[in-house]
Structure 1
Amino acid sequence: MDKYYYYQYISILIATIAFMVWFVWRYSSSRNSICSHNNPKCQPATAAGSTDIIVVGAGVAGSSLAYALAKDGRQVHVIERDLTEPDRIVGELLQPGGYLKLLDLGLEDCVSEIDAQKVFGYALYKEGKSSKLPYPLENFHPDVAGRSFHHGRFIQKLREKVAFLPNVKLEQGTVTSLFEENGTVKGVQYKSKDGQDLTAFAPLTVVCDGCYSNLRRSLCNPKVDVPSCFVGLVLENCELPFSNHGHVILADPSPILFYPISSTEIRCLVDIPGQKVPSISTGEMANYLRTKVAPQIPPELHNAFLASIEKGNIKTMLNRSMPGAPHPTPGALLMGDAFNMRHPLTGGGMTVALSDVLVLRNLLRPVKNLNGTLALCKYLESFYTLRKPLASTINTLAGALYKVFCSSTDLARIEMREACFEYLSLGGIFSIGPVSILSGLNPQPLSLVLHFFAVAIYGLGRLLLPFPSPKRMWIGARLISGASGIIFPIIKEEGIRQMFFPLTVPAYHRAPPVIV
């Protein structure tokens, strides 16, 4: 009997050891097959489960999101293609609404010590006439205003704040693809700074790799439009006609912008419709700026503008617009310019990005464990709806204003442009309403639509009073029709239901699920 139990014991021990060897071999081979699914050279960058969230990109959206999530105790891995200071001619004006978001995130010190300038409103110019449009800041703390600055300095301050947190890994590397398994994003594949092929794993990957994103096609249906191009110059040793204000000149063929980016420098952005611009290298661009643009510049800035052309430091950038059209993917989310862009005329991009960061941070706060991938995906679908009122209002305003502010030979469009200038010049609610929307202080979709058609009706009144004629009545009818043709297609692209009825959200979105 003792020998029987002895052999039984030995058999169980051998079976147990065999099972353990099989399990270790099986786990090891499955991990190797995952890692080599797309790239046989890739290696895991960190142990699975050690990172809660991967953030691709360390621009405005990526850096501020990483900071917000890390402050909430998440382990965050940020991968940025280039950690040197960026040099861009947009992303230099943060509206007051965006500054309030910066305050909510605890990042307001990122606009200090970079010679950022306070901005208190706009000045609008048209054919020698001007109108001052202040931000409605009376009910806010004196520190609340717009901020304008060198884009690269602001980004570096954000990155410094992120890198200081112990639970953030900020790494320079180029993300080549999302790592997917059975339709779920498990992480990213990327090349490190020294050329190694690596894979990073996390329950959630947030893609914020900017307007040139090479990952967005995996997560949305991009419809990128390029309505125009900005030509950027820096003016020195001059003062704006209205200090601490952005200046918009309704020029021919499209607007020209001026705003301070430091105590001694003024940014000038010349909009050129279409995707083709005069060549810089052949001198075509300099000649275009001297002969076509300079005569339309306010006298106070004319000499500095010509001097800037002579220095030759001219840069160009395509202006892109793209409505957010995601297809929800378990394990991944799109944010920033990788997901949604609008014409930069109104300077609303950073306000939208920071607002999106706050929406996502607040959504994730009650979620203790991010590993419930399918439940998390369903829950995070509400992000795309909750962001809509602010984002869509700013997007729609940017697209509509750009079309109205561009010059045209069409009489109805000419009247709409003139009506818009005069409407805003009336002051009171006629300027406070639109400017509060533009500044991100009161982004109400319905208010935007009402003001837009109030401009059209004001234009109609200008035509019909005191005595209407058949020609004027015909132009007025085309003006109303043209206004509808401008704003309604933009609203349709943004999503009518999400924009105007954001509370129509499934119940499981409104109450955080228990994810364990």
Structure 2
Amino acid sequence: MAGESANDVVIVGGGIAGSALAIVLARAGRAVTVLERDREPVDRVRGEFMAPWGVVELRRLGLLDLLVGAGGVFARLNIPYDENMPGEKALPFTFDLSKVIPDIDGAFCMGHPAMCRTLAAEAGRLGVAFRRGVEQVQVTAGAPPMVGFTHDGVRTEWRPRLVVGADGRNSAVRHQLAMKTLADPPHNLLGGMLVEGVPDWPQDIEVIGTEDRTHFLVFPQGGDRVRLYLCYDFADKALYAGADRRQKLIDTFAGLRCLPQAGMIAASRPIGPFNSYSNEDHWVEDPTAPGVVLIGDAAGHNDPITGQGLSIALRDVRLVSEIILAGKYDRSSFRPYVEERLERMRRLRITARYVATLRAEFGEEARRRRGRALRRVFVDKMPSPMPAALIGPEKLPAACFEPSTVEALLAP
């Protein structure tokens, strides 16, 4: 049944980006409804690491204390265990993430489903109408736009002032509005899994390294839980397939010679799925239409190898919320967001390409290249795009993202 809506904003997608935006708008008195497909948050093996610049965005949105209180932890130290720096050789190169940005305790780690539940509960407490189990969402651009959906067997159509698409990488809103998505070629597969039974893992330490044919990452999740990620070549896909793929992942970590805590992980128990995805960038040059704006992964996502997804989404939430709270809903008002995001994603795309080349290409020459590049940055003080993944892409000079800069770092 078609009709007017009392909503200022209807948000399609109740994940982290959608729920965060709903909270910010509801606090300012805007009438908001969130339409979410899943009855309960699902572990999709992504979105559990927040770089320090993303923590800044979380704090600016007034959401940091909420998530810390719900069990989130800070990874304050990064130890670069690697085939070039195995075991104790890596310790002198430990990086203090709590010193990257003043007053930010490091990288923030928390399970994605737990974050979703916490933010959705806060949105509901503030009066946001949070509808779960929504099906057949249909969005039409216009002034005003139209959003139709089916919930508990009832078909509804509304015309709010604005529709926000926050429905993830496979955004139905983006597809319906025929927004062109650009993409880099796939580089690797990246998969992850949540495990428990690792009580001796220091919950303030993350590990990122490469050995043989795998790039591995370990992030604390609170208590005795850690999240394991593995980036590997498409040629090795069969090694991590089949009914026993979760044990295969644990076995790979257990066999890492450069990682002193490998034995801890060998004794861990999987408590979530092991899913893997191709890692490459996808982006939309203009994630807006009349009466519609996309945020988060729906607007395009960075190669997850540098873990920028949550930070990107929270920056989107802040910029879009500021425009809405200024009383602007027309498409032209979102141009500053579109332009900032386009440059932000371009810089992060260059950063991710560099990191993927450095960390997720394998073999003897790749190992030597990784060692050369690190010496050039830390000894020769050559510029690099890599700090963008920690402090934010806008904080570095434009020269850090020039092709000549990356070529010089990776040169033989």
* Alignment partner, residue 382 of structure 1: 336
2:351 is equivalent to residue 397 of structure 1: yes
Counterpart residue type for residue 53 of structure 2: G
Residue matched to 2:71: 115
Contact 1:229–1:274 under 8 Å retained in 2 = no
Residue identity opposite 2:82 in structure 1: K
Matched position secondary structure for 1:140: coil
What TM-score, normalized by structure 1, do the two folds share? Answer: 0.69
Q: 1:278 to 1:306 in 2, by over 3 A?
A: same
For residue 161 of structure 2, the aligned residue among 203, 222, 233 is 203
**What corresponds to 1:174 in structure 2?**
134
- Does structure 2 conserve the Cα–Cα contact (< 8 Å) formed by 1:397 and 1:448? no
Equivalent position SS for 2:7: coil
Cα gap change, 1:341 to 1:450, in 2 (>3 Å): closer
Q: Could you tell me how far apart the structure 2 residues matched to 1:150 and 1:284 are?
A: 21
Q: CA deviation at 1:137?
A: 2.6
Say which of 90, 108, 122 aligns to 1:161. Answer: 122
Which ranges of structure 1 fall in alignment gaps of 5 or more residues?
1-42, 371-375, 461-475, 477-516
Count how many residue pairs are aligned between Structure 1 and Structure 2.
401
What's the secondary structure of 1:125's corresponding residue? coil
Deviation of 1:96 (Å): 1.6
The correspondence for 2:263, drawn from 303, 316, 340, is: 303
Q: What's the RMSD between the two structures over aligned residues? A: 3.1
**Map of 1:353-392 to 2, 5 A cutoff?**
353-367=313-327, 370=329, 376-392=330-346
The Cα shift of 1:64 comes to 0.9
How high is the TM-score relative to the length of structure 2? 0.85
What is residue 195 of structure 2 aligned with on the other side? 234
Bigger RCO of structures 1 and 2 (CA < 8 A, at least 6 apart): 2
Work out the CA distance in 1 between the residues paired with 2:107 and 2:327: 34
Q: 1:337 to 1:65 in 2, by over 3 A?
A: same
Contact 2:73 2:108 (8 Å CA) reproduced? yes
CA distance in 1, matches of 2:374, 2:199: 26
Does 1:334 pair with 2:294?
yes
Displacement after TM superposition at 1:104 (Å): 1.0
Query: 2:210, 2:15 → 1: CA distance?
Result: 31
Q: Structure 1 49/283 Cα, relative in aligned 2: closer, same or farther at 3 Å?
A: closer
- Amino acid in the other structure paired with 2:32: V
1:65 maps to 21
User: Which secondary structure does the structure 2 equivalent of 1:221 belong to?
Assistant: coil
Distance (Å, rounded) in 1 between the aligned partners of 2:176 and 2:100:
45
- Aligned with residue 443 of structure 1, among 389, 394, 411: 394
Higher helix share: 1
Task: In structure 2, give the amino acid aligned to 1:222.
Answer: T
Rounded Cα–Cα distance in structure 2 between residues aligned with 1:288 and 1:159: 32
1:52 deviates by 1.0
Displacement of 1:249 in angstroms is 1.4
* Inter-CA distance 293–173: structure 2 relative to 1 (3 Å threshold): closer
Selected match of 2:150 from 191, 199, 204 = 191
Superposed counterparts of 1:408-447, under 5 Å: 408-409=362-363, 411=365, 413-423=366-376, 425-426=378-379, 436-441=387-392, 443-444=394-395, 446=397
- Report the Cα distance in structure 2 between the residues aligned to 1:214 and 1:455, rounded to whole angstroms: 36
Whole-angstrom CA distance in 2 between matches of 1:68 and 1:78: 13
User: What is the one-letter code of the residue matched to 2:95?
Assistant: L
Q: Would you say 1:133 and 2:86 are equivalent positions? A: no
User: How far has the Cα of 1:113 moved from its partner?
Assistant: 3.1
SS at the partner of 1:170? strand
Deviations 1:266-304 (A, max 9, x none): 2111122339444654436635753x5533254532223
Q: Which blocks of at least 5 consecutive residues in structure 2 are unaligned?
A: none
Return closer, same or farther for 1:72/1:297 CA change in 2, 3 Å cut-off.
farther
Letter in 2 for 1:132: T
* Correspondence list, 1:245-256, <5 A: 245-256=205-216
Q: Deviations over 1:192-212 (max 9, x none)?
A: 1x2222222212111000123
1:406 corresponds to which residue?
Answer: 360
